[in-house]
Amino acid sequence: MSETQMPSARTRVVREPHRAAYDRETVYRILDEGFLCHVGFVVDGQPFVIPTSYGRNGASLYIHGSAASRMLRQMQKKDALTKEAAPVCITVTLLDGLVLARSVFNHSMNYRSVVILGKATLVDDPEEKLAALRILSEHILPGRWDDSRQPNERELKQTSVLRVPIDEFSAKVRQGPAIDDEEDYSFPTWAGVVPLEMVAGKPIDDARLLPGKAAPDYARHYTRK
């Protein structure tokens, strides 16, 4: 049974609260289908939001990047007084459709989104770091990790992996048709939903592909569902 928790004052959905979800099953389902998140953080009073890939293992979200990355360095920086890492905000959004109403004001989108608030921890343990990188790879393209050259020591040193606990979170979901004002239902225009989905195209062979190497099944039949 999915765990539902009460939202914090920071994660409670205020606008359209009936669209909110606070259970882990909904949140994990959205996280597992997406593969791009936006990470919000503050440097010297200036907010930044950076897109990056991620992977999930249980109640932990992993992100990675160059050890020299400003985002990753800022996320692991500890406050001089509290000795705590800087707070971050991570969001993931899946767009499912354009909702066209009869009035421009009531146009909308069908979507599923997650907001996670927390503090990141640098993954120091070599085994967890390598496992986290595998999780990141397999989250984006299952099967690719075992088919590829593994990272060497130099590459691992150049890469930072951060873990963010999925403890303070909320989801918001909008589904269904357009909702117009009653007087607008007689307005003579088309209304409805234009569904949107991510569709993978046919794999394109690399120019220097070794002879006899065909695209594997996980590339030819790629999907985010």
The full DSSP string for 9-41 is TTT---SSGGGEE-BHHHHHHHHHH--EEEEEE
12: in domain: no
pLDDT in tens, the chain (225 residues): 467 778 899 999 999 999 999 999 999 999 999 999 999 998 888 899 999 999 999 999 999 988 778 777 777 776 655 667 788 999 999 999 999 999 999 999 999 999 999 999 889 899 999 999 999 999 999 999 999 999 999 999 999 999 999 999 999 999 999 999 999 999 999 999 999 999 999 999 999 999 999 999 999 999 987
112: in domain: yes
Report the first-to-last Cα separation within the chain, whole angstroms. 22
Half-sphere exposure of 134 toward its Cβ, with a 13 Å CA cutoff?
Answer: 12
71: in domain: yes
Number of domains in the chain: 1
26: in domain: yes
Among 61, 74, 50, smallest CA distance to 136 is for 61
Q: What is the CATH number of the domain that holds 213?
A: 2.30.110.10
Q: Residue 22 phi/psi, 5° resolution?
A: -125, 20
104: in domain: yes
Are residues 62 and 123 in contact, defined by beta-carbon separation less than 8 angstroms?
Answer: yes
For residue 143, what are the domain limits?
Answer: 18-220
pLDDT on residue 1? 44
10: in domain: no
Contacts of 126 (CB under 8 A, 6+ apart): 156
2: in domain: no
